[in-house]
Amino acid sequence: MVVNKFLMQGSTAIAANSTDNNVLDKQRYERAPGLCVGSLYVNGSAAGLYCELNIGGGSVSGPVLCNASNRVPVIPDDVLISGWLASPNAKIELSVTNTTGGVLTAYWKAELQLVKQRR
Amino acid sequence: MYAYRCARTGLYFPSDYVEQWGRKYGHGLGPTPVSEALVNDYHFPVVHQKNEGDPVMVPVGVCRAQVDLVEISEEEYNSKRAILQTEDPKMQQRARIMWARQMANSQKVRNANPGMESVAAAIEVPGKPAVSEPVTVEE
């Protein structure tokens, strides 16, 4: 069976005034399964979450504000950034910071689409 | 006076809440005006951290309930006025209230059956909105 699309989705509680360095830690496709073009969707349960995307040690975004929709991300409404490339085996890191005094939930979804290369 | 009432928590928002949606209120909540009052998410599995001294707080989130235009007295508005996101951007005032409510409700939730309805019934505190009223811990 040929698989050319991959998905990671989940929710992570972020303690007050703290950072989760990588919410994608221990996920199956934490490292890109091949040359992929990806889309990232992130929601917070309330205002005050910031997230940052790094691919293979390179920064795709600095800390950017997440929306506060309190739901599992809906496509395409909750897209944060799409069209980024991940090389084979590159580590995908999504760091989430909670700047508030309460525990917030980060809802995240990362879609990876395998890119076919001509030889 | 007129105000918008949150259908879930019973809290009141200012009369320009819908008119100023996306400007003064509801940042990051999408195009449709909904309630930005906070509710506790007791269903989320709580992650315990190392060396924790205090009981761990369960996550909070905006309830996104419907808001309805109502005519009420000024006293009632002031007694149940919601703390707005713009007034409390770091959630310091609201987190204290949510924490007290969690302390009051966590035992009830633990004793409740795992069915969603019974858990929802256990955490319901009649007459007490989720955010702005001072909360007394029930024994």
Asked whether residue B33 is domain-assigned, the answer is yes
Residue carrying the six token digits 């989940």: A10
> Is cis: bond before B89, omega within 30 of 0?
no
Within 8 A of A11 by CB-CB distance, chain B residues are 44
| B85, closest residue in chain A (CA to CA) | A47
Instruction: Report in angstroms the alpha-carbon separations of A8 from A76, A87, B121.
Output: 16, 17, 33
Decide if B18 touches A, using CB distance below 8 A: no
The set of residues, in sequence order, having a beta carbon less than 8 Å from that of B39 and lying 6+ positions away, is: B8, B9, B60, B61, B62, B63, B130
Record: contact B28-A13, CB cut-off 8 A: no
Task: Write down the ipTM of this complex.
Answer: 0.82
> Taking CA atoms, what residue in A is nearest to B37?
A46
* Domain locations in chain A as residue ranges: 6-67+88-114
> What confidence category does residue A116 fall into, taking pLDDT thresholds of 50, 70 and 90?
confident
Hey, are the CB atoms on B29 and A16 less than 8 Å from each other?
no
Rounded to a whole number of angstroms, the distance between the first and last alpha carbons of chain A is 21
Q: Residue B100: what pLDDT?
A: 86
- B134 domain residue, yes or no: no
Enter the pTM of the model: 0.83
pLDDT at A61 over 90: yes
- Give the sign of the dihedral formed by CA B8, CA B55, CA A14, CA A102: positive
Distance from CA of B77 to the nearest CA of A (A): 24
B46: containing domain:
2-123
**Based on the structure, what is the number of domains in chain B?**
1
Query: How much is the pLDDT for A72?
Result: 95
Q: Flag whether residue B22 sits within 8 Å of chain A, measured between CB atoms.
A: no
In a domain, B132, yes or no: no
In a mutagenesis test of the B interface, which of A14, A45, A70 is the best target, namely the one with the most B β-carbons within 10 Å?
A70
pLDDT at B48: 60
Considering the domain boundaries, does residue B93 fall inside one?
Answer: yes
CB-nearest to B28 from A68, A71, A102 is A68
In a domain, B92, yes or no: yes
pLDDT tens digits, one per residue of A64-114: 999 999 999 999 999 999 999 999 999 999 999 999 999 999 999 999 999
Q: What is the pLDDT of residue B137?
A: 42
- Judge whether B41 lies within some domain: yes
pLDDT (tens, 9 = 90+) of chain B, 139 residues, equals: 999 999 999 999 999 999 999 999 999 898 999 999 999 888 777 666 555 555 567 889 999 999 999 999 999 999 999 999 999 999 999 999 988 888 777 666 655 545 544 455 555 555 555 544 444 444 3
